Structure 1
Amino acid sequence: MANKSPSKDRRAVINDIRKKQGRAERVRGAAIIGVCVTIAVLMVGAAAWGPITGFIKDSEFDNVALQDIGKSAESAGCQKIIETKADGNQNHIATGTEQTYTTAPPAYGPHWNEANVAPADMSRKFYSADDRPDLEALVHNLEHGYTIVWYDETVSEDELDELRAIGQKFSGTSNFRYKFIAAPWTAADAKETAVAGDKKTEFPSGTHIAMTHWYADPANPTEASTQKGVFQYCEGVSGEAIKDFMTTYPYTDTPEPQAM
């Protein structure tokens, strides 16, 4: 039998090496694709986990009545309701102008008036410090009959979940009885709020939740002399207190109840 030529042997070896390299490249490419897919899945999963857990937390309160969310008014340390003389009805200031309010938080006063800015949209019921509208926008919501529940920076994650769940009880924009917003009260807000002598105002000692409402006589809502700012402070979240507050001070007894 004739011996194979050296050139043919080399070509065979080279071809074999190339085949092995090709298989290795395909395996390596598949591994890289697999890793990329895994990373992508993990990234999507991580991004989706927040909304999923938020949905799970919200759903925990689906069958819980408003008054049963959080603590009772007594256990939450809710104080007596305070009424003070109000001003600022129809006092519109230029958007972007900072208004110094005299109460913490505000229940009335001069405010911005610009479509899609002030008042804030009724569809949003809960805000964080990252996306909350300016005070001057939210005060316009108060003029339109909203109850705003303000929470300070010390509230726990469980209390935030309770406030979100309470907001869900007022979802929608067709029923004006659902004019409700939960919003943060921040250190920056405190700096923007002052009383005579430039003394900064704060929530009463030990309280971390505040409800505010801009009251007007339903028989004569534009009469400024009868308008009041209404406040109630609590140590913790109380669905019972919020329900009682909004029942006692409905959207109908405000300067502009039919405006959204």
Structure 2
Amino acid sequence: MAKKPAKSSRQAVIDDLRRKQKSGERRRGFAIVGVCVLVAALIVAAAAYRPVKSWWDLRQYEDLALSDIGGPASSCQKVETIQADGNQDHVPTGTQVTYDHAPPAFGAHWNEANVAPAPFNRKFYTTKDRPELESLVHNLEHGYTILWYDQTAADDSGTMSQIEALADKFRASDDNFRFKFIAAPWTAEDEKESGKFPDGDHIAMTHWSAGGSGETDTSKQVGAFQYCSEPSGAALETFMRDYPYTDSPEPNAL
């Protein structure tokens, strides 16, 4: 049998380069897979961070009464009322309404299923998921109290934990109208359109009052406003007792 010719030194070098190239490609492949796995893990961790942190921060408030969360009632100014309008004033969804007060307690609003009013089971919103103002004003017409917080409050993690803890006290497994409450941001864009809160105040509570529970004379409707330097469960409790959901233009609607 004839012997195979010995590889030339040049061929040996080429074969060695090919082996090294394949080995390098495998290493690069492993590195790419490793980076992808790491990026995926970081994305999952980032997505889980906010819910986990929120759960951890709220633990300290679980056993506290509403009135014990946040600052004292003295953190808030006296309630102001302004003659209201806009009852049943439904504008086409997508139409922007400029409100005269920061934040609104009444006015024209949207009225479209799945858009307005905002759902009963959501009690807390951030700038990333807040409904449009025109939807939230419809909630006010239905008897909700809205606690608004400005960007200064939004930038303070301790303040945000208190606001979320207040909202958490209104979560319910059924549609109990006594829990008509929403906490929502008053954004920089809102400030450009309708103005800022009074100096030194970063929280506002608003309610659309019918002028008393069961009142049907629309001329008696007022918007109730209360501004606070910090979240106050004590002030919120009093505000919602003085202006319950029954004291609104449409108290029996979600």
TM-score by length of 2: 0.84
Q: Counterpart of 2:198 in structure 1: which amino acid?
A: P
The structure 1 residue matched to 2:150, chosen from 140, 149, 152, is 152
Unaligned runs of 5+ in 1: 8-13, 194-200
What is the aligned partner in structure 2 of residue 191 from structure 1? 192
CA offset digits 1:39-82 (Å, max 9, x no partner): 433332233222211221223322222111111112xx211111
CA offset digits 1:84-128 (Å, max 9, x no partner): 221111111122222232222111111111111111111111112
The structure 2 residue matched to 1:121, chosen from 119, 122, 126, is 119
Cα distance, 1:46–1:100 mapped onto 2, change above 3 Å: closer
Q: Counterpart of 1:95 in structure 2: which amino acid?
A: T
Instruction: Report the CA distance between 1:245 and its aligned residue.
Output: 0.7
Distance 2:29 2:91 in 1: 62
The structure 1 residue matched to 2:223, chosen from 207, 210, 229, is 229
Any residues of structure 2 matched to 1:172-187 within 5 Å, and which?
Answer: 172=172, 173-187=174-188
Cα distance, 1:237–1:24 mapped onto 2, change above 3 Å: same
Cα distance, 1:32–1:51 mapped onto 2, change above 3 Å: same
Any residues of structure 2 matched to 1:1-260 within 5 Å, and which?
Answer: 33-74=33-74, 77-155=75-153, 156-172=156-172, 173-193=174-194, 201-218=195-212, 220-260=214-254
Q: Counterpart of 1:234 in structure 2: which amino acid?
A: C
Contact 1:221–1:256, Cα closer than 8 Å, also in 2: no
Distance 1:114 1:254 in 2: 20
Provide the aligned length of Structure 1 versus Structure 2: 249
Unaligned runs of 5+ in 2: 8-13
Cα distance, 1:93–1:34 mapped onto 2, change above 3 Å: closer
Distance 1:60 1:219 in 2: 36
Distance 1:92 1:127 in 2: 23
Q: Kindly, what percent of the aligned residue pairs are identical?
A: 55
Contact 2:102–2:191, Cα closer than 8 Å, also in 1: yes
What is the aligned partner in structure 1 of residue 11 from structure 2? none
